[in-house]
Chain A
Amino acid sequence: MGAPLIGARIQRKEDYRFLTGAGQYTDDVTLPRQSFAAFVRSPHAHAKIRSVNAAKAKGAPGVLAVYTGEDIAAAKLGGLPCGWLITDVHGQPMKEPPYPVLAQGKVRHVGERVAVVIAETQDQARDAAELVQVDYEPLPAVADGRLARAKGAPQLHEIAPDNTCYVWALGDKAAVDAAFAKAAHVTKLDFVNNRLIPNAIEPRAANGSYSRADDSYTLYVANQNPHVERLLMTAFVMGLPEHKVRVVAGDVGGGFGSKIYLYAEDVVVTWASRQLARPVKWTAERSESYTSDAHGRDHHTVAELALDKDGKFLAMRVKTTANVGAYLSTFASCVPTILYATLLAGQYTTPLIHCEVTAVFTNTAPVDAYRGAGRPEATYVVERLVETAAREMKIDPAEIRRRNFIRSFPYQTPVALLYDTGNYDATMDAAQKLADVAGYPARKKASEARGRLRGMGYAAYIEACGIAPSAVAGSLGARAGLFEAGEIRVHPTGSVTVFTGSHSHGQGHETTFAQVVADRLGMAIENVDIVHGDTSKILFGMGTYGSRSIAVGGTAIVKAMDKIIAKGKKIAAHLLEAAEADIEYAGGVFKVAGTDKQKTFGEVAFAAYVPHNYPHDKLEPGLNENAFYDPSNFTFPAGTYVCEVEVDPETGKVQVDRWTAVDDFGRIINPMIVEGQVHGGLAQGIGQALTEGAKYDSHGQLVTGSFMDYAIPRADDVPFFQVDTRETPCTHNPLGVKGCGEAGAIGAPAALINAITDALGVKDIAMPATPQTVWRTLNQKKAS
């Protein structure tokens, strides 16, 4: 066989169909007798619904049906469930208000679904939706998480007094407080981690159809984890047996977390398809995406770092209010707790950490995991504190990090995680070299000569990926397992179809996973196809999020391959009339050790399917194996980012001039794809720091509800990135892989804000650091 495939820059197998317009995204699927849905959404942030009058809409051209909350209640459809139970500081379960698929008497955020109109064409559905008359009694609203618990604040849910979902804490508060009392220096920051709107370029879409022939449903949906979608929808909402529902998430145009969840629209089109005995399709308009996709982040945090006189970290104290929006989305509760507080050790030996999180309901769209999910928020806390402390104590920001790096592994943090491996000096050293930190003073001088302010910032992040050991997740409140499934189907002529529960929506699994399989089985990559995204084809899957695909899904495939090879050895031993223990497998050939007797993989596969000469007494025919893999620990990708900005003091515009990222993702399967993941993550992190921020006004109206008001980065907002990697292989999975999908978004905001505050000579600046914000900050500094 040729060169090893692991570590090779193989061009993507999926590209041809995308480049020629042959991709099949959910909205591209049009079924016979297709009908179309349009949702009537609340224009109010908070209101009672006095009545819904659908008479006019029902009589409009082409309308097949109008359903309201009353119909949903009469059909006894359940509310949307939350998949993670957080137990509060008093040992009580979090407050879980009902989350109806169509509003029941009250709306709690702009964009909430009140009714659905289904018609022959999309235009007819949208036209008729305008004719549904909803009589609202507007109520006062609260949108800002910081105001949700204020006295007299409007109350969203009866079961959640003071709009509080939970108050949760991790760490030894008394010990932390004692350490602070003795500290030589304390750095304190008070900031907002801005609310983001994910904005995958493909809007959400769902197309439900019901078959009377076998009383079954098929849902085509833009989703990152079709099996989880099916489980939640059947077991918790619709009360259907799982085997009667097929969920297909074919090509999906980006997710970034926002397509993990079970959404109300998915349920409504599935349910309605049976009422009408016709397929019902809904595709979001972008304005609907803005108001009804799950948002991300939205923390208000007061964070403190205690240090000794040499800059050694003694303790960290963090208090966060997390705005979870109007309802609990599928994984909303674990993001600002389990995925956040546990990352506050970062790359450092900080011995004591306490974090308290208050999750509050507000009249805004639900907030859930968005690329990084808790870990960008944690990294922002740690890396802003560390850089600020360095400046306050006049220690070089890289040096203060080095003084506190963890260097002995495995390392048990004070916030529950056990880091298996890492080498933070290696990524820091490489980043400093690649970024030409030594040349920074000269560049700063040159900028000054042109009237520009130059600043440099670091972020040395860590993340916990490969989620998760199911037992650990379960003990922390997860209501589902977090394993992955894989299946290898060897065909009679020796080609292979691989079925994986990991979904690909841009990550390139069809290539990366094929590399892993072709490399291990010793065959041409063309002979391996990866299939994902269809519950009728794949035995099970927990899906794609948390940078878990290669570490968990890839390992499941490796385990299935081990079984294939083990069975192949038995077959080969029979064919070669040798002892099974003497059979070796390498390079696509089963060989009797020390001899030239051999059978190719194809010959063995053929024998398994045409078993004329076959050990029937010991083996079944066929060559098809599956495996489930539940990891024994998280993986811990880490790295160092160095960012240099140039600020125009006249306009406040920040130019990201240089960006260096050195990541340790463990072993890398396809560097080209990994680099692409880093680039994309960095751009989203830069977006958070520079251009993006969801704004609700005091009445709960979303004022950033389109691409014209909410600025995702455009090509000229971001620089070229210098990226490189260092490898410390993960110790507990066979590929040694850690995951790379979220790193960029996790590390970038802190590095960029550290650079901007350095350039401006200020302690802090709010994200997004738009030209206006920067200009005002500079002028305030001048005035004071």
Chain B
Amino acid sequence: MPVKVSMKVNGKAVSGEVEARTLLVTYLREHLRLTGTHVGCDTAQCGACTVHMNGKAVKSCSMLAMQAEGADVLTIEGLAKADGTLHPMQAAFKEHHGLQCGFCTPGMVMNAVDFAARHPGASEQDVREALEGNLCRCTGYHNIVKSIVAGSKAMAAGK
């Protein structure tokens, strides 16, 4: 049965009709065509679908669109400034070669932004543990960890 959902996505009010079982990630990708949020697994392990809901990182494959009713959702498309300037975490991934194929990257960045905001000054080991829910097959995590540490510092410095 179709249900109505309305929420704020990347600062804009959106609403639409979805099936009750429609996942948030499906709503973002298929209904809003925000295809930067990816689906890499069916067991909530890979984290490629990570977005922010009301400021916290969530796996958008593991919740219904309906559960985001009224929420403030931020996807990778909404992270950079309107003029295209990258968020400090995005810039850090670029500078430290924290991505290769780019598929896990949006989820990595969204998780990293949330983590860095909550844990300023986190160590490299803290970062590794914080990535438990994000899988990457390309980078061996080496440069992702470096990126997140650098991105955290830049965020703390208000860059």
Q: Which residues of A contact B (CB under 8 A)?
A: 11-12, 14-25, 27-28, 30, 123, 199-203, 251-254, 256, 283, 285-287, 505-508, 672-673, 675-676, 679-684, 706-708, 712-716, 718, 720-721, 744
A-B pairs with lowest CB-CB distance, top 4: A21-B36, A253-B103, A18-B102, A683-B140
Given contacts A199-B137, A201-B135, A707-B45, is CB(A19)–CB(B38) below 8 Å? no
- When the two chains form their complex, are residues A676 and B103 in contact, meaning their CB atoms are under 8 A apart? no
Q: How far is the CB of B86 from chain A (nearest CB, A)?
A: 6
Q: Are A19 and B41 in contact, with the CB atoms below 8 A?
A: no
B95 within 8 A of A: yes
- What residue in chain A is nearest B40 (Cβ atoms)? A201
Nearest residue (CB) in A for B109 is A19
Check A505–B101 contact: CB distance below 8 A. Answer: yes
* B73 interface hit (Cβ, 8 Å): no
Q: When chains A and B are docked, how far (Å) is the Cα of A699 from the Cα of B127? A: 41
Closest chain-B Cβ to A126's Cβ sits at a distance in Å of 11
A252 and B38 CA atoms in complex are apart in Å by: 12
- The answer to whether A201 and B128 have CB atoms under 8 Å apart is no
Chain B residues contacting A718 (CB-CB under 8 Å) are 140-142
What B residues does A286 contact at CB under 8 A?
40-43, 46
Contact A11–B42 (Cβ < 8 Å): no
Q: Contacts A15-B94, A506-B102, A680-B137; is A21 near B37 (CB within 8 Å)? A: yes
CA distance A315 to B114 in the complex (A): 58
Task: State whether the Cβ of B90 lies closer than 8 Å to any Cβ in chain A.
Answer: yes
Which residues of A are found within 8 Å of B128, using beta-carbon distances? Answer: 715-716
State the CA gap A20–B134 with chains docked (Å). 18
> Does B64 belong to the interface (CB within 8 Å)?
no
A684 contacts B45, C-beta separation under 8 Å: no
Interface residues on B, range: 35 or more
Chain A, interface SS category = loop
- CB-defined A-B contacts under 8 Å, sample of 10: A16-B86, A19-B99, A28-B35, A251-B101, A286-B41, A286-B46, A680-B140, A716-B125, A718-B141, A720-B145
Q: Please indicate the chain A residues that have their CB under 8 angstroms from the CB of B97 in the complex.
A: 11-12, 672-673, 675-676
Q: Which residues of A contact B29 (CB under 8 A)?
A: 28
| B49-79 with Cβ < 8 A to chain A | 75-77, 79
Having A200-B101, A201-B137, A720-B124, one finds 11 other A-B pairs with CB under 8 Å, namely: A15-B102, A19-B93, A19-B105, A20-B36, A27-B35, A28-B35, A201-B103, A506-B101, A506-B138, A507-B100, A682-B140
Q: Is B139 an interface residue (CB 8 A)?
A: yes
CB pair A22 B101 closer than 8 Å:
no
Q: With an 8 A cutoff between CB atoms, is B122 at the interface?
A: no
* Assembly CA distance A679 to B103 (angstroms): 17
Q: Taking A201-B137, A707-B46, A707-B135 as contacts, is the C-beta distance between A715 and B145 under 8 angstroms?
A: yes
Q: Roughly how many angstroms separate A287 CA and B41 CA in the complex, as a whole number?
A: 8
A residues near B21, Cβ cutoff 8 Å: 123
A123 and B19 form a contact (CB under 8 A):
yes
B24: interface (CB < 8 Å) = no
Query: Are A203 and B137 closer than 8 Å at their CB atoms?
Result: no
Q: Mark B78-90, 1 if CB is under 8 A from A, else 0.
A: 0110001010001
Q: How far is the CB of B96 from chain A (nearest CB, A)?
A: 9
In the bound complex, what is the Cα–Cα distance between A682 and B94 (angstroms)?
21
Q: B141 to A202, Cβ gap below 8 A?
A: no
Question: Which chain B residue shows the least CB distance to A679?
Answer: B140
With A19-B109, A716-B132 as known contacts, state yes or no: A254 contacts B142, CB within 8 Å.
Answer: no
Asked if B34 is at the interface (CB within 8 A of a chain A CB), the reply is: yes
Q: Are B41 and A20 in contact (CB under 8 A)?
A: no
Also in contact, A20 and B38, with CB within 8 A (given A25-B103, A716-B131): no
Kindly provide the distance from the CB of A304 to the nearest chain B CB, expressed in whole angstroms.
34
Cβ-defined contact, B109 with A712, below 8 A: no
Residues A201 and B109 in contact, CB atoms below 8 Å apart: no
Interface assignment of B104: CB less than 8 Å from any CB of chain A: yes
Q: Does B136 contact A (CB under 8 A)?
A: yes
Name the residue of chain A whose CB is nearest to the CB of B136: A201
**B150 CB within 8 Å of chain A:** no
B137 to chain A: which residues have CB within 8 Å? 199-201, 254, 256, 680, 684, 712
Name the B residues within 8 Å of A253 (CB-CB): 38, 40, 101-104
**Is B144 located at the chain interface by the 8 A CB criterion?**
yes
